[in-house]
Structure 1
Amino acid sequence: MEIETQYHTEDDGFAGAISHSADIIEDFPEGAEEGTPFQEVFASTPADETTEAVPVEPALHISSDKRMGIHYFPDHKHYGQGALQKWLPAIQSLGVNWITLPAPLDRAIPDEFISGLISSDIQPVLQFDIPLTEEYSVEDFAALFRAYASWGVRYAVLFDRPNLRSQWPGVAWTQRGLVDNFLDKFIPLAQAARQAGLTPVFPALEPGGDYWDTAFLRSALEGLQGRGENELLASLVLGAYAWTRDRSMTWGAGGPENWPATMPYHTPEGSEDHMGFRIFDWYNAISRAVTGSVLPIILVAAGVQRENSQARDAQPVRRAIAMAESLQRAPSDTHNNRVPANVLACNFWLLCAAEDSPSSIHSWFRYQTAKPNQQGEEWLDWNAPKAKSAAVAQPVAAVPPATSSNLSAGSKGITKAQTLAHYMLLPHAEHWPMDTVRSFLESHQAAVGTSLEQALAASRVTLAGGLEAYPDETLRTLIQAGCAVDNLQAA
């Protein structure tokens, strides 16, 4: 494999030297020279004046008082029975309307958990941390996407920080065209998400990173444009990490137009860069330069540093509160203390983590009791005057698994209220017969999930995995509810 010599000095231009390790190979954009400042490169697109502008849809406008969110846990191990009942009151008490949920790759988060959040006016943002080092089946993900979309999920973040060397197998990191290689993986999944009814979110990049994130993002958007992926671009949302790095809340405000001397890997004395809360100003400049318009942005995690090895932010909750106050002001592209309207959500790091997790120092709530710690109390004290009635609502219990003690009660009032045409009932969220589900959904228009309550609302119910996977009481209740029941054996 041919490897091109690297630039790796502090004077590197926008997309020249991508890594100080001399492992990444990327050419400068046409018309840009080594040392070209951000401002000039952003203004130098497209090279071909005859190229048609990408039809980017206007950014969704979210009410300024509904842009705050929280990042749930740093892993996907906390969706079991009782999790919603335990954690929903804590989430509601924060007064948030968004939540980042790390999504398992081999099964779905239970639909009861998802539905409980959505019914509480909290929109999940699913984060699929798909390893770039492994092979995966787009068809398997498509089945997951369809299920999530049928439950009301709208946003799916595909991959995480692909501009880090640690995310790639060694040989792939040294190959020419790393961004193109990433797009080869991203596009099929993004298309599958769109076809399922989800909005694909381009993964949040590590600010800075081994491959400078602004260069990676620009190359990726240009790559999508060059491949004719106009429909995908028109529906795309950008993910971002907004770490404050102990800097002021207005660090880098205004983007490259205000800080034209800043270049990748080099921020001159007296200048500022994108590595702060206002990273969205810089990403907006990139998307505007490439597409002619800004793309919607979701800050999938914001506030303190995510990695335990990095310096911890001072006064993390005070910084989160300052961010929240910026979000709640009327959106503006020109005020440093306000946030542009295309920033849909800012999900603060972190609701909670297990006590043995390195991320536990960032938690706002105690793991064992789901009660606020000192950091959580600071936020609640600030939010108290604005708290919604949901903050004191009774816990919402997740739908329990089918048992003889709860099936009859759960079916009351549903027998003659079927609202779904077809529902595939799964035996357990952790043991999906994925091949069976995928092939079935390819030929049937059916909702899918683990909820007996939703199954009872369907005219026809298909039992995945065979009759033996379900208690007799479940079968009896479905039949008594008037459902036409059939079964599908696992392949």
Structure 2
Amino acid sequence: MTNQENRNSSSQPLTRSGRLGFHYFPDTLHYTERDLQLWLPILVELGANWLVIRSDTGRAIPESFITTLKQAGINPFIQFNLPLGKPPAMEEISPLIESYIHWGAMHIQFYDRPNLRSSWPAGGWAQQDLVERFLDRFLPLADLVARANAVPVMPAFEPGGDFWDTAFLRNALQSIERRGMSSVLSKLALGAYAWTFRRSIDWGAGGPEYWPDTRPYFTPSSSQDQRGFRIYQWYQAVAAAVLQRPCPVFLLQAGLPAHPDRIKPEELAAGEHAAVIKELYTWVTGKELVVEKGVETLPPPQLDMPEEVEACNFWLLSADKNSPYREQAWFHEGNPRLPHTQSIAKNITPPAADAFVNPTISNDTVFKRIQHPISHYILLANCQHGSWETQLARLLPFINQNHPTIGFSIEEAALAGKVTIVGKSPYITADTLARLTRTGCQVEQIGDDGTNLAM
């Protein structure tokens, strides 16, 4: 029996709800209540169960954004794309992580593509023990998440990559096991970029069992490898070999022909790409796609995804007009744009700017008419010499109780109904306070230690 016959005989059609996800905006600027008012109904109508959202270390995603997603049945998947050359201090990032988990964001991913030379600072790549140095950065964060009974997610690797991804993954899992980090291994999930590399979604199906001649850095012309949508099968084979069990896997940027930075604008508008995305969407959701002349019939894809594939996340829900990823977005200002989106979301109409979202989806107070889309903003005035990390740690009880947005931007603060300025700065003058007051903000200013903060 040939490899192709073996693969076909082992593949079973599978339609399972609960796996559909989307990458949200490719930035950290769209977490206001107004954003929820626009995008939550669209996500619910699409049947989304997951939303990949980005966080930086200097500003928290508001609790209301996370909890409203959870109330709508959408699981937040938080990404920290941290610099490998300068990892954050634990005292800086721990309050954010603990708050996210407390608010219900139970899946947190750290770093991105550590198997690429370009992800490391000059000279860092050439040093010995690359995998060990990566783990020295990743494991303290993963351990913090795991001990909070949440899921740390291994960064997605570049398929192939400068350090072959399956070899990097194998070495990393072996090292975590050797270090005795059982608390991390028991919770760990894997991230995987499910790009097609402009090949059939069947490329590499069956994993190394069906393609035994494939080796790291070498794929014979008669063989196939993990560089395709079926990457999850290859990663599961590595996990099974090292841990004797599978690991949960989250598919990211599913169905893209390549990394977003390497895609030509016209590629995603082509019929070939639309067919791939519609096929994957039909499989994930089990929904028929309605077109103008009736029901678009698609044969169910023969995808034998195991239960360990937790989510299939499509790129990209939306992007700002000045974003380099604007032409890759499914929606522009709530309106379907790409050909596959026009089939999938044909009957979705974005809510009017002053419309209320159905209060059964979430607390209706979240969707009141908004003059100030941010309810409470903590403006950290003194961000010199790392002092803001100490401020943030001292304010953690207040943060947990009041759920403010936190940052350094006066422009963002002006969007809030209430602004609490922590510390002093020559950049925050009497004119600044007057400007905030003129926009309708309730302003208070307290010392660095937060002792005057009304709890």
TM-score category (smaller protein): 0.7 to 0.9
Compared with structure 1, are the counterparts of its residues 93 and 123 closer, same or farther at alpha carbon in structure 2 (3 Å cutoff)?
same
Counterpart amino acid of 2:305? Answer: V
Instruction: Using the TM superposition, give the Cα deviation of residue 228 of structure 1 relative to its aligned residue in structure 2, in angstroms.
Output: 0.8
1:220 aligns with 2:152: no
Counterpart amino acid of 1:371? Answer: N
In structure 1, distance between residues paired with 2:373 and 2:118: 48
The answer on whether the counterparts of 1:218 and 1:287 sit within 8 Å (CA) in structure 2 is yes
Counterpart amino acid of 2:227? Answer: M
1:372 aligns with 2:336: yes
1:92 aligns with 2:58: no
Identity of counterpart residues, as a percentage?
Answer: 37
Compared with structure 1, are the counterparts of its residues 317 and 198 closer, same or farther at alpha carbon in structure 2 (3 Å cutoff)?
farther
The answer on whether the counterparts of 2:380 and 2:421 sit within 8 Å (CA) in structure 1 is no
In structure 1, distance between residues paired with 2:15 and 2:246: 18
In structure 1, distance between residues paired with 2:127 and 2:222: 36
The answer on whether the counterparts of 1:68 and 1:345 sit within 8 Å (CA) in structure 2 is yes
The answer on whether the counterparts of 1:243 and 1:277 sit within 8 Å (CA) in structure 2 is yes
Specify which of 403, 406, 422 is matched with residue 449 of structure 1: 403
Specify which of 248, 253, 265 is matched with residue 296 of structure 1: 248
Compared with structure 1, are the counterparts of its residues 182 and 473 closer, same or farther at alpha carbon in structure 2 (3 Å cutoff)?
closer
In structure 1, distance between residues paired with 2:381 and 2:101: 19
Partner of 1:320: 277
Instruction: Using the TM superposition, give the Cα deviation of residue 488 of structure 1 relative to its aligned residue in structure 2, in angstroms.
Output: 3.4
Specify which of 356, 375, 383 is matched with residue 322 of structure 2: 356
Partner of 2:128: 176
- Per-residue displacement from partner, 1:430-483 (whole Å, max 9, x unpaired)? 999542332454x899546128xxxxxxxxxxx8949xx9999989xxxxxxxx
In structure 1, distance between residues paired with 2:216 and 2:68: 43
3-state SS in 2 of match to 1:243: coil
Specify which of 270, 295, 305 is matched with residue 339 of structure 1: 305
Compared with structure 1, are the counterparts of its residues 94 and 134 closer, same or farther at alpha carbon in structure 2 (3 Å cutoff)?
same
3-state SS in 2 of match to 1:488: coil
Structure 2 matches for 1:179-328, cutoff 5 A?
179-304=131-256, 305-310=258-263, 312=267, 315-328=272-285
Compared with structure 1, are the counterparts of its residues 162 and 402 closer, same or farther at alpha carbon in structure 2 (3 Å cutoff)?
same
In structure 2, distance between residues paired with 1:263 and 1:98: 34
Specify which of 71, 83, 92 is matched with residue 23 of structure 2: 71
TM-score, normalised via structure 2 length: 0.73
1:488 aligns with 2:451: yes
Higher alpha-carbon deviation: 223-232 or 110-119: 110-119
3-state SS in 1 of match to 2:66: helix
Instruction: Using the TM superposition, give the Cα deviation of residue 90 of structure 1 relative to its aligned residue in structure 2, in angstroms.
Output: 2.4
- Per-residue displacement from partner, 1:93-146 (whole Å, max 9, x unpaired)? 321110100112211111121122111111010010001122421122110011
Instruction: Using the TM superposition, give the Cα deviation of residue 403 of structure 1 relative to its aligned residue in structure 2, in angstroms.
Output: 10
Partner of 2:378: 427
Instruction: Using the TM superposition, give the Cα deviation of residue 382 of structure 1 relative to its aligned residue in structure 2, in angstroms.
Output: 9.9
The answer on whether the counterparts of 2:191 and 2:252 sit within 8 Å (CA) in structure 1 is yes
In structure 2, distance between residues paired with 1:445 and 1:89: 28
3-state SS in 2 of match to 1:70: strand
The answer on whether the counterparts of 2:173 and 2:242 sit within 8 Å (CA) in structure 1 is yes
Compared with structure 1, are the counterparts of its residues 464 and 488 closer, same or farther at alpha carbon in structure 2 (3 Å cutoff)?
farther
The answer on whether the counterparts of 2:207 and 2:226 sit within 8 Å (CA) in structure 1 is yes
In structure 1, distance between residues paired with 2:372 and 2:398: 33
Partner of 2:295: none
Structure 2 matches for 1:371-410, cutoff 5 A?
371-375=335-339, 376-381=341-346, 393=358, 399=366
3-state SS in 2 of match to 1:347: strand
In structure 1, distance between residues paired with 2:53 and 2:369: 25
3-state SS in 1 of match to 2:37: helix
Task: Please give the root-mean-square deviation of Cα atoms over the aligned residues, in Å.
Answer: 3.8
Counterpart amino acid of 1:374? Answer: L
**Which consecutive residues of structure 1, in runs of 5 or more, have no partner in the other structure?**
1-61, 330-334, 385-391, 411-424, 452-462, 476-485
TM-score, normalised via structure 1 length: 0.68
3-state SS in 1 of match to 2:153: strand
The answer on whether the counterparts of 2:154 and 2:188 sit within 8 Å (CA) in structure 1 is yes
Instruction: Using the TM superposition, give the Cα deviation of residue 319 of structure 1 relative to its aligned residue in structure 2, in angstroms.
Output: 1.4
In structure 2, distance between residues paired with 1:219 and 1:176: 14
Instruction: Using the TM superposition, give the Cα deviation of residue 290 of structure 1 relative to its aligned residue in structure 2, in angstroms.
Output: 0.3
The answer on whether the counterparts of 1:256 and 1:285 sit within 8 Å (CA) in structure 2 is yes
Instruction: Using the TM superposition, give the Cα deviation of residue 219 of structure 1 relative to its aligned residue in structure 2, in angstroms.
Output: 0.7
3-state SS in 1 of match to 2:118: helix
3-state SS in 1 of match to 2:335: coil
In structure 1, distance between residues paired with 2:27 and 2:441: 34
Instruction: State the aligned residue count.
Output: 377
**Which consecutive residues of structure 2, in runs of 5 or more, have no partner in the other structure?**
1-13, 287-300, 350-356, 406-419, 424-432, 444-448
Compared with structure 1, are the counterparts of its residues 404 and 349 closer, same or farther at alpha carbon in structure 2 (3 Å cutoff)?
closer
- Per-residue displacement from partner, 1:152-200 (whole Å, max 9, x unpaired)? 1110001111111111011110001000000000011111222344311
Counterpart amino acid of 2:326? Answer: S
The answer on whether the counterparts of 2:150 and 2:187 sit within 8 Å (CA) in structure 1 is no
